[in-house]
Amino acid sequence: MINKAELFEADGPDDGGGGVIDPAKVKTGLFILSSACVAICVVMSILAIWDYIGNDAAFKMIASCGVLGAGAVLFDLLNRKFG
């Protein structure tokens, strides 16, 4: 059975736990990915508001960033669980 408290607790310097891939590197990569997704979504939304791109393109990009974010969270959880 998966203990939800263990999955979502913050990694501290004395954590001692690890993942298949170094959790610090995973956090850095996921932070960069998440920041890029947020920046892209903001730019696309502003362009859609000002009618420089179609609303369909903006919604598709925002949905794609949401899928990337969900995949990143799942990857992080699996890395911690099996590491």
For 19-53, write each residue's pLDDT tens digit.
788 888 888 999 998 899 889 889 988 988 998 88
Token pair 């310097």 is found at: 13
Domain assignment of residue 77, given as a range: 21-82
The whole-number pLDDT of residue 14 equals 46
Q: Radius of gyration of the chain from Cα atoms?
A: 17
Residue at 3 is within a domain: no
For 52-69, write each residue's pLDDT tens digit.
888 888 889 889 988 998
Asked if pLDDT for residue 10 goes beyond 60, the answer is no
Start-end of H helices in the chain: 4-8, 23-49, 55-82
Rounded (10°) CA dihedral 49, 53, 58, 60: 160
Residue at 10 is within a domain: no
Residue 56 phi, psi (nearest 5): -60, -45
State the total domains in the chain. Answer: 1
Asked if pLDDT for residue 17 goes beyond 80, the answer is no
